[in-house]
Chains A and B, each alone.
Chain A
Amino acid sequence: MATLNTESNHPAPDDFYERLIATHRGLSDAESALVNAKLVLLLANHIGDPGVLVQAMAAARDGTDTERDAGAG
């Protein structure tokens, strides 16, 4: 089974991050949430491998229950 790659895989990480934030420029919070959901669905389809996706979902969910207010404005 393929393993989720958690090593840095971006040729230019800072370029990627800037573009990610720029994708949301001018959007309301609700619009941004929708854009993010679409982004996850697009990327998940591109990856395809169910094993990798399950690992990514678990890693993303990990710690959420104990974090006090992650993401609060």
Chain B
Amino acid sequence: MKTYTNPVYSYVRPAELDAPGARRPIVIVGAGPVGLAAAIDFGQRGIPVVVLDDDHTVSVGSRAICYAKRALEILDRLGCGQQVVDKGIGWNVGKVFFRDELVYRFDLLPEPGHRRPAFVNLQQYWFEEYLVERARALGAVELRWENKVVGVAPQADGVDVTVATPDGEYTLGCDWLIAADGSRSAVRQILGLEWEGQVFHDRFLIADIHMKSDFPTERWFWFDPPFHPHQSTLLHRQADDVWRIDFQLGWDANPDEERKPERILPRLRAMLGDNADFEIEWASVYTFQCRRMQRFCHGRVLFAGDAAHVVSPFGARGANSGIQDADNLVWKLGLVLKGLAPDRLLDTYDAERTRAADENILNSTRATDFITPKSNVSRTFRDATLGLAKKYAFARRLVNSGRLSVPAILAGSPLNTPDRDADFARGPGAMIPGAPAADAPVAGPAGDWLLGYVGGDFTLLGFDDAVGPFGVAALARDRIACKVVQVGGKPTAGATMIGDVQGLAVQRYHARPGTVYLLRPDQHVCARWREFDLPTVRAAIARATCNH
């Protein structure tokens, strides 16, 4: 590739090859986006973690390129969001074309006052490189390259992992094993665990090209374009003047032939014109499937990301959901490890994230059925919808080139305390229990955005003197500590004070003076009240940690 050279991370001979090593609290299999995000989160909590990866570099090829707002917010909490955003290409607007006409345009982030855009496009290798750098800066994270898991032996209270290295095999014992080793998960296969779903009968060519171009920074999707008749095409801009083009090929295409430059170049020339100046960076032909494991928790082995669930790429719901898996899992496992919550807290990881996986599978299956109709009548309806879409709003709403990743709302979670006060907003976008906390511009000691102040630990977000100094001190001393952040009002000892500079925090949280929100360590709302009451908040924290 012209714009990127994969780093080589050195293999270091593990000490366990020479003498049995100490048992580890956490071992993560897979140094991809999900495994690294989890490792960083543990590292920030001071929990030692070993990451095993069978390779010695980051992703080969750009692979997952669209990182959604929620994933970026999680990365901000993990200390590497800014690098991804600085290097990546932010975008909010998508356009859909049918043949040679624009039929539909959407804007994913119609309101200002959020730190992060709807999406940032960045090649997965850059993304992983930043996460590796961040992980290495944390003393508690140990990354082991060229360490391939070849055996997994579940024990009553832990897991023994057999690891193959260039110098031979060794065994590593751990309390908990996190399998974040991708769609072909070795851990899943070793344990003989099934996953269910469907494989789609279609093939796609991904071509990354390096090209200086003044195409706008938008997602462009074509159905049946003149340059690629009867199939679809998707164009995305990435960092370093690299453009991702996905060509739908159909099930009959020969993947080995289609990978050859002499097959790819004419497709690109037809699309970009004979005069376009570009070079192919990387190309791949793929098929895809939508499936998930029935359960993500198998005793002391916990599955996350593509190892647990896979979707078709339309909607950018793969890496984005995997990062939300890590976000959901790590704080829970951290509490369990420290003896502050029972093991059954992890059952809620399974419940919350299998539900999110189902939503992602539903949406990406629908998009795939629209893009790749399975029957003549389905294609007729698809083309009729597209034919009506240019003129009629109702048809535009039916056009489906991918329903793009939105954060999971954990509305039915048993960790939520249901609203007691009836006057909170409940409509779309409302901060109901289960919703991820909304961002807003603020003024304060730690930056200009609300999300920079919440999460990591439980956070009580109060409005206008909601919580007095006694309450702040009491919550800080609890076994499961809860920090207090106050929006507006007088300075309160022990609480972080922030100013609602545009009034958007009050608006987005539907707040009145005295309103308090209890946020989980992963920034999801788990309870809210119109006034602070210490026993009530403690009961909600107990509920959110299965300590009740």
A and B are interacting partners: yes
Instruction: Give residues in A with beta carbon < 8 Å to B.
Output: 5-10, 13-14, 16-18, 20-21, 24-25, 27, 29, 32-33, 36, 59, 62-63, 67, 70-71, 73
Q: A24-B375, A70-B387 are in contact. List 6 more A-B contacts (CB 8 A).
A: A6-B395, A13-B397, A13-B398, A20-B381, A67-B387, A70-B383
B63 at the interface (CB under 8 A from A): no
Contact of B369 among A9, A21, A59, A70 (CB under 8 A): A21
Contact of A73 among B369, B379, B385, B400 (CB under 8 A): B379
Instruction: Give residues in B with beta carbon < 8 Å to A.
Output: 363, 366, 369-370, 375-381, 383-385, 387-388, 391-398, 400, 403
Chain A residue with Cβ nearest B396:
A8
- The answer to whether B377 touches A27 (Cβ under 8 A) is yes
- Also in contact, A21 and B392, with CB within 8 A (given A10-B397, A13-B398, A73-B376): no
- The answer to whether A29 touches B377 (Cβ under 8 A) is yes
Chain B residues near A20 (CB-CB < 8 A): 381
- Also in contact, A32 and B377, with CB within 8 A (given A18-B366, A70-B387): yes
Chain B residue with Cβ nearest A29:
B376
Contact of A10 among B370, B392, B394, B396 (CB under 8 A): B394
Interchain nearest-CB distance for B400 vs A (Å): 7
Cα distance A71–B388 in the bound complex, in angstroms: 13
15 of the cross-chain contacts (CB-CB < 8 Å) are A8-B396, A10-B394, A13-B394, A13-B398, A14-B363, A17-B381, A17-B400, A18-B369, A21-B377, A24-B377, A25-B375, A32-B375, A59-B388, A71-B380, A71-B383
Interchain nearest-CB distance for B312 vs A (Å): 15
- Also in contact, A70 and B397, with CB within 8 A (given A18-B366, A27-B377, A32-B376): no
- The answer to whether B366 touches A17 (Cβ under 8 A) is yes
Chain B residues near A24 (CB-CB < 8 A): 375, 377-378
Chain A residues near B363 (CB-CB < 8 A): 14
Cα distance A17–B392 in the bound complex, in angstroms: 16
Chain B residues near A13 (CB-CB < 8 A): 394, 397-398
- The answer to whether A9 touches B394 (Cβ under 8 A) is yes
Contact of B384 among A16, A27, A71 (CB under 8 A): A71
- The answer to whether A36 touches B377 (Cβ under 8 A) is yes
Chain A residues near B383 (CB-CB < 8 A): 70-71
- Also in contact, A17 and B398, with CB within 8 A (given A32-B376, A67-B387, A71-B379): yes
Cα distance A14–B377 in the bound complex, in angstroms: 17
Chain B residues near A18 (CB-CB < 8 A): 366, 369
Chain B residues near A71 (CB-CB < 8 A): 379-380, 383-384
Chain B residues near A6 (CB-CB < 8 A): 391-395
- The answer to whether A8 touches B376 (Cβ under 8 A) is no
Chain B residue with Cβ nearest A63:
B387
Interchain nearest-CB distance for A38 vs B (Å): 13
Chain B residues near A36 (CB-CB < 8 A): 377
- The answer to whether B378 touches A21 (Cβ under 8 A) is yes
Chain A residue with Cβ nearest B386:
A70
Cα distance A16–B380 in the bound complex, in angstroms: 16
Cα distance A18–B391 in the bound complex, in angstroms: 22
- Also in contact, A14 and B366, with CB within 8 A (given A24-B375, A32-B376, A32-B377): yes
Interchain nearest-CB distance for A14 vs B (Å): 5
Chain B residues near A32 (CB-CB < 8 A): 375-377
Interchain nearest-CB distance for A16 vs B (Å): 8
Cα distance A73–B486 in the bound complex, in angstroms: 61
Chain A residues near B391 (CB-CB < 8 A): 6, 59, 62
Interchain nearest-CB distance for B8 vs A (Å): 45
Cα distance A62–B379 in the bound complex, in angstroms: 19
Cα distance A73–B224 in the bound complex, in angstroms: 12
Cα distance A56–B379 in the bound complex, in angstroms: 21
Interchain nearest-CB distance for A48 vs B (Å): 20
Chain B residue with Cβ nearest A20:
B381
Chain A residue with Cβ nearest B375:
A24
Chain A residue with Cβ nearest B367:
A14
Cα distance A59–B400 in the bound complex, in angstroms: 21
Chain A residues near B396 (CB-CB < 8 A): 8
Interchain nearest-CB distance for B153 vs A (Å): 43
- The answer to whether B394 touches A8 (Cβ under 8 A) is yes
Chain A residue with Cβ nearest B385:
A17
Chain A residue with Cβ nearest B388:
A59
Chain B residue with Cβ nearest A73:
B376
Cα distance A20–B385 in the bound complex, in angstroms: 12
Cα distance A14–B376 in the bound complex, in angstroms: 19
Chain A residues near B393 (CB-CB < 8 A): 6-8
- The answer to whether A7 touches B394 (Cβ under 8 A) is yes
Interchain nearest-CB distance for A34 vs B (Å): 11
Chain A residues near B403 (CB-CB < 8 A): 14
Chain A residues near B370 (CB-CB < 8 A): 17
Chain A residue with Cβ nearest B365:
A18
Cα distance A6–B484 in the bound complex, in angstroms: 49
- The answer to whether B379 touches A14 (Cβ under 8 A) is no
Chain B residues near A27 (CB-CB < 8 A): 375, 377
Chain B residue with Cβ nearest A14:
B366
Cα distance A67–B101 in the bound complex, in angstroms: 13
Cα distance A8–B388 in the bound complex, in angstroms: 12
Interchain nearest-CB distance for B210 vs A (Å): 35
Chain A residue with Cβ nearest B392:
A6
Chain B residue with Cβ nearest A64:
B387
Chain B residues near A5 (CB-CB < 8 A): 394
Interchain nearest-CB distance for B387 vs A (Å): 6
Chain B residues near A73 (CB-CB < 8 A): 376, 379
Most interface-central of B391, B394, B400 (chain A CB within 10 A): B394
Chain A residues near B387 (CB-CB < 8 A): 63, 67, 70
- The answer to whether A14 touches B400 (Cβ under 8 A) is yes
